[in-house]
A and B are shown apart, each in its own frame.
Chain A
Amino acid sequence: MTAMEPILSQENAPAADFRKSVDMRLAIGGGILLLLFVACVGSLPWTLNSHSNFYYDHQGADSLQAPSGAALWTVMGTSKLGQSMLGECLFGGVISLMIGLSAAALSVFLGVGIGLLAGYRGGWVDALLMRTCDILYALPYILLVILFKLALEKRLNGLFGSDMAANLIVLFLAIGLVSWPPMARVIRGQVLSLRTLPFVEAARAAGVPQGRIFTRHLLPNLVGPIVVYATLTVPQAILQESFLSFLGIGIQKPLPTWGSLASDGLTLALNPIASCWWLLVFPCTLLGVTLLALNFVGDGLRDAWDPRRNSKMI
């Protein structure tokens, strides 16, 4: 993004057939996401009820049963501890989506704030913030997530009085705190070109305070890229969480996430003698479908908002 780039405008509308394909992607992706979200959240009364077969921490004798249509709770088989995989996947979905959404929200909040400040203020503020961006880029992403998590975890344990809550919050903080630089760069680039426009100058001349210029004059013009990057950050965050779970430093048991279910299932599913494929296939499919749908929505939005940048690639 350079200062010379024009601001996103509705004027160069994409060709009709292209519009259609974008709408299709948005519709399919959005529909799948909505369906998954409703299913995961709607099942909470059962997955959180300790008397239900779907309870996420259910301890039963029927461990490692293959999927069978005999009862709804065994449709996806059972886990090593006898939990219903359907219940695990549904509740894991709630946590995966929650982490993805909240981490993306935090990174959007930080990215937009920092980008606005850097672009509008310029000078040493800009230099300082952009160097920080560079440094965050220079460190491998997940390295920082791990370091943040390491630094914050136990401290927050004391604060919240519960390991589980602290675990969730730390993960969301850690992922959110390191994924803002791309957003900040994009916003900064946009602000650099916006701030030279007459309406911003006019607002400043009229004595509008800086905070109000940000919220009332600049932000509305930035909604496009913000929405797009937010949608593309969610799958990133979900994937980061699954990495961490695999390395044993993500969400701790008994809380499930799609990532941790998949990584737990990996060894048992790949056991060549008695393969428990259902432990791997279901969480992976859900994870994959969600990531795909989110990417679809993000790319569709990007094409709709910014027709110059063609993301036919995926």
Chain B
Amino acid sequence: MGRFIAWRLIELPLVLAVIYLVTFTLAWVAPGTPFGNSERKLPAAAEKALREQFHATSDWQFLGYYPRRLLLHGDFGPSMSYDGFTVNDILRASLPISITLGLFAILIALVVGCGVGVMAALQRGGILDGLSLAVALIGISLPSFVVAGLLLAVFSDRLHWLPSGGWGTLKQLILPGFALATLPMAYIARLTRVAMLDTLGNDYVRTARAKGLTRSDVIWRHAFRNAFLPVFTYLGPAAAYAMTGSFVVETVFNIPGLGQHFVNGVKNRDQTLILGTVMVYAAMLLVLNLIVDLGYAMIDPRIDVTAKQ
């Protein structure tokens, strides 16, 4: 186990380095620079000055300068499109927002999804079962921006219960959280339902009940713990979805998070910002996957995560 963790920890920076190179290549071969574009041609002297300011007179200078700066100072350099801001400033301001939103969404998805899944399994074929299937179907067949729009229309425009966007208060967290949670929630509910149905048929559940444990004890402590495994494996993909889904949800609700900055970075060809956001996303995802793998071993000691696939 210790070796496994050590190996994964050694692999992490290597994978990140490759991702840096890939992103750099993709962002750099993209035509158009942040220094003027086809509509607004900068005078040659001004462009040269800008390029010198950003250490980008040539591809090689750029590639030589920024990775070194990142390694030595942990610094992504100045943003090319947000005047006067460094990429680190932007990340520092937006990362907590995106993390809060993402964690909140996954929390909703887990709590509601597991609860609904267990209930649906307990009364198979009942109203709640049908309802959860319906929600799951909507969840997978509607793009998240439509879900977000519908939530806005109902809870903000019609009922005036919640604000329509922005960031800062708890109330502003609720709608985007649910918009982002719909898809993972749907999957988790269905996963839990199937797993619970499988588990509840086991002999040990009957035994536990027969020896006098209460119904809720059997359901939550005996059956659910086993049924939770497939849900736990889904947490990795769910986290990935919460990150990419945030591009859309943050745009709809006008939340100044990481996703918006990435999209803006792409639109403005802001190479340093693109590199910064991609690296942060990749690092978060890699660490999360590692945590999920380790947690998996903790929940179910029988599983050998160190085994090669």
Contact = CB atoms under 8 A, between A and B. Distances in A.
A314 B137 contact: yes
A143 B274 CA distance: 10
A185 B248 CA distance: 29
Given A138-B289, A154-B31, A148 B243 contact: no
Interface stretch (A32-40, A67-75, A218-226, A289-297): A289-297
Nearest to B269: A150
Contact of B143 (A150, A185, A246, A314): A246
B29 A151 contact: yes
A138 B145 contact: no
Chain A interface SS verdict (over half): helix
Contacts of B282: 138-140
B136 interface: yes
A68 to B, nearest CB: 23
Contacts of A272: 153, 157-158
B193 interface: yes
Interface in A140-175: 140-143, 146-148, 150-151, 153-155
A263 B263 CA distance: 16
A284 B142 contact: yes
Q: What interface size band does chain B fall in?
A: 35 or more
B281 A291 contact: no
Interface residues of A, number: 48
A312 B26 contact: no
A206 interface: no
Interface of A: 1-2, 131, 134-135, 137-143, 146-148, 150-151, 153-155, 185, 189, 239, 242-243, 246-249, 259, 262-263, 266, 269-270, 272, 280, 284, 287-289, 291-292, 295, 310, 312-314
Interface of B: 15, 18-19, 22-23, 25-27, 29-32, 133, 136-138, 140-146, 149, 152-153, 157-158, 186-187, 190-191, 193-194, 240, 243-244, 247-248, 251, 262-263, 266-267, 269, 274, 278, 281-282, 285-286, 289, 309
8 contacts: A135-B22, A138-B19, A139-B22, A140-B244, A143-B262, A287-B143, A310-B194, A313-B187
